[in-house]
Amino acid sequence: NAGVTQTPKFRILKIGQSMTLQCTQDMNHNYMYWYRQDPGMGLKLIYYSVGAGITDKGEVPNGYNVSRSTTEDFPLRLELAAPSQTSVYFCASSSGGTSGGLGTQYFGPGTRLLVL
Amino acid sequence: AQSVAQPEDQVNVAEGNPLTVKCTYSVSGNPYLFWYVQYPNRGLQFLLKYITGDNLVKGSYGFEAEFNKSQTSFHLKKPSALVSDSALYFCAVRSRGTSGAGSYQLTFGKGTKLSVIP
């Protein structure tokens, strides 16, 4: 049971380039989330998904896109990288329902992205 | 809208002394409250949560937190700090009253850096 895995661990992008951050969980969780963490700012929710085929915007969605074709995978797409997207990105998952985690989220190790 | 405040950016404590990391929250209705810890270059790890019942919640690594509804607080505590407790601590809240697709969103505080001095 690997939990939540993310790739790559670190990436440098040039302005205007695109990339996909991968996230996979093996806990059969319905809910998945993407956050960005900036120094002194805590975590900001980018997008989340409540199940395969269903996604919704979080607090800071501009410049990002997501898809959820399977329960396990929740990739985050950056289409035109900008310096403001330099950050550490975390994927998380949780179960739902009254018998589930009631919001307890399990996090991946993160992807550090530098846009120059 | 729900929010979390962690009033201290950094807390320093001597090894063996008790530690407290403060958290206050604002939600509509009753809250679900969480503490997470982040070690350098790692993702967040779940420590403990308050759902209902006893106001004193015990979690991993000897940590506990006390829910105080009147003060809307959920302070994290440990009786005797270890150097290995040095990390970044995040408090998070979710309103129990929310429903629908967004109901499982957590709102995180900005984090408190705990340094335990040998």
Task: Give residue A97's pLDDT.
Answer: 56
Residues within 8 A of A (CB atoms), B 21-80 only:
32, 34, 36, 41-46, 49, 51
Please name the member of A31, A56, A107 whose beta carbon is closest to the beta carbon of B43. A107
Distance CA A91, CA A110 (A): 7
> At B104, is the pLDDT very low, low, confident or very high (cuts 50, 70, 90)?
low
B3-117 CATH pick, 1.10.275.10, 3.40.50.720, 2.60.40.10, 3.30.429.10: 2.60.40.10
Chain A residue with minimum CA distance to B10: A40
Is pLDDT at A59 greater than 90 in this prediction?
no
Tokens of B40: 């350098």
Inter-chain touch B108–A43, beta carbons under 8 Å: yes
Domains, chain A, ranges and CATH? Answer: 4-94 (2.60.40.10)
Distance CA A36, CA A109 (A): 12
Query: ω into residue A8 within 30 of 0, thus cis?
Result: yes
Instruction: Identify the helix (H) or strand (E) that includes residue B55.
Output: none
Is pLDDT at A35 greater than 50 in this prediction?
yes
Q: Which residue has the higher pLDDT, A103 or B62?
A: B62
| Sequence ranges of the domains in chain B | 3-117
Inter-chain touch B90–A41, beta carbons under 8 Å: no
B19 burial type by CB count under 10 A (0-12 exposed, 13-18 middle, 19+ buried): buried
Is pLDDT at B100 greater than 60 in this prediction?
no
Report pLDDT digits (tens) over B34-69.
Answer: 999 999 888 899 999 998 888 999 998 999 999 999
Inter-chain touch B110–A40, beta carbons under 8 Å: yes
Full DSSP string of chain A: ---EEEE-SEEEE-TT--EEEEEEESS--SEEEEEEE-TTS-EEEEEEEEETTEEEE-S--TTEEE--SSSSB--EEESS--GGG-EEEEEEEE--STTTTTT--EE---EEEEE-
